[in-house]
Structure 1
Amino acid sequence: MARTKKLRLLTLFGTALASCALLATGLAPASAAVSPPATHHGPPVINYVNLGDSYSAGFGTGTIVAGPLPGCYQTNGTSQVTLVAAQAHINLLIDAACAGAKTTDVATAATAVAPYLAQADLVTLTLGGNDLGWSTVVGACSTQGTAKLCDQAILATLLTLPKAAKSANKTLRIIDAATPGTILLQGYPRLFSPEFGNNPLITAKRAKQLNNLADLLNLSLAAATHGTSAQFVSVSSRFQGHGIGSPTSWLYLNPANPTDSFNLHPTATGYLLGYYPALKSRINALHLVY
């Protein structure tokens, strides 16, 4: 059941994006004990927990490092998480986002960091994309795939969506029960910019089809927040015109290495100008006092 949750006033979140970029630093794994709120004169300190998959773990920037949980990997690059955590009144209790995490893995991580969630005022995450096997779909529909493989992959994704949404809802309910904080679930960008025509990776026609799948995934994730206090935060409009195929793409792609683990993830610019503003805008719009 959804609960009313109050968040401490975030009056300093109006920091300019350029300043945020200068403040951003790589995150080391959190210590074993919950970090106490720092002594701070000004706005109340916000205790913050981050969960989720590679889009919350900073993949696409920096260097891969070990996270706080077994088998968990993140990066030390700029992301929406490092930008939020750089604010003077934010106390990052733990960043437990793990690359490759499926919805059930995020639920397991939430259980593992329950003591942190119990003290959190703000929880952010991304989830759902790995349940669909996006990299497999993109590979099948790329110029290296075939029409038959692509059509089969798209159909399989459509059939998997309801199950993924149900699992996302279950995970959000687990997080909701574990924290008094505000939960913000960020969606995924459309990966491609077909308006610029065909590109070496994918044709404009297939790019449009995969963008439609991304839209369906985001709609499913928004619906998955129902019955919980979680709020869905879209990033689609902010990435418009900056997908793969655009001369100003905000998504990482290494054509020479199709297995590069950073492929299809935001670049530092994508996190700075895409994910972070969407998150900051929603936090500012809450106007809640914890």
Structure 2
Amino acid sequence: MPFVREEYTIEQPLRAFVFLVRALGFSPKAAQRLIDRGRMTQNGVRVLKAQEVQGRVEIARFVPQDLGLAPLFVHRDFCVYDKPHHLLTHPKGLYAHPSLNDALKSTFGAQANPIHRLDSLTSGLVVCARHSRSEQELKNLFLHQKVQKTYTAIVRGIVKDDEREICAPILTQKGGGDLSIRSVISPMGKSARTRIRVIERDLARDRTLIEARPLTGRTHQIRVHLDSIQHPIVGDCLYGVSDEISRFFLESSAGEREFVRLLGAPHLMLNASRIVFRYDDKEFCIDSVLRAGLLAFFYNTSFDHTSERVCR
């Protein structure tokens, strides 16, 4: 399981931070992170950094499991994974479910961290730092929009314009019930821009294969923007469907059969297909292997997982 709970007994009063560093060998940064995230408790109550503790305490540690997922590309400072559909990038809370973090840390160690994230429903490329020395530099590339990300999607309906840019502010909802997980188009939201280009139209099945380039990084940006122009992504269980269908998928562990029955596809037809950036005076251009599965669905052909292409 990703998180395991361990119990320790502290004989003499000691500050929580000091106990983690001196007695358990945590680095100061790791000890601070564990306390900040509420993973040290006593009698079910969260322990604070400067708090003196004595007696029995509980600590929840992330213990990665090997998912059998190998990185698509490896550099001495970073790696790139081709994340499958229905896999979280980070663990959510202290639940015992797998995430990309399991594959990453079981292969490269505790210092390795994802630099950005994809929705669990979205497949494709995730850049990860292999150690803390490169982590901030890589994060700065994303922060300052020096990374070009290209997605491939299948949307419902026929997109008329060969190319267009969607400019609509996106608001991340807070509270308001179970469906507040949806982002919405709102003048109170943050500015958001997405460029789309039609790759091919399927008139018989009333769907379009497109390329999308997000120029900003808002929550569910591509999904929200495409829904806002009446072309929601095929297989989307949040956008372009009824509240009842969204609640069904949020409240159950729906599998491929339910996705096909209710949404017409085995999963969300969105793939983070290509990522381009400069690092250490070199340009890296990496393509997703899993994009082939999306194309196979659109063209109704088979998908061979063994093919791959990485350009750099």
Query: Common fold, TM-score beyond 0.5?
Result: no
Relative to the length of structure 1, the TM-score reads 0.29
Greater strand content: 2
Greater RCO, 1 or 2 (C-alpha within 8 Å, sep 6+):
1
**Richer in helix (by share):** 1
